[in-house]
Structure 1
Amino acid sequence: MTQYDLAHRLVEARRQHRPIDAPPLDSLPPDAATAYAIQQAVIVGLGDSTGAWKIGARAPGGAAAGAPIPASLVLPSPARVAHTGFFRVLVELEVAFRFAEAIEPRGRAYARDEVLSKVGVVLPTIEIVDSRFAEWPNVAPLAQLADAQNNGALITGRPVAYAGLARSFDFVSPELELSFDGNSLVPEDGLSI
Structure 2
Amino acid sequence: MTTTTRTLNETLERSSRALAAAVLAALLSGCGSDTGATPSDAPSDAPPAGCTGGVLEADLEADQLSGPGVDPATGALLPPPEGSSYTVSATYGMPRPGEAVMEKYVQYFGAIQAQLASQPGLVAIQLAQSPSCGSGRTLAVWSSTEAMYEFVMSPAHLAAMDAVNELLLPNYAVTHWEAARADEVTMAEGALHIQATDARTR
Q: TM-score, normalization: structure 1?
A: 0.30
Structure with greater strand share of residues: 1
Give 1 or 2 for the bigger CA radius of gyration. 1
**Higher fraction of helix:** 2
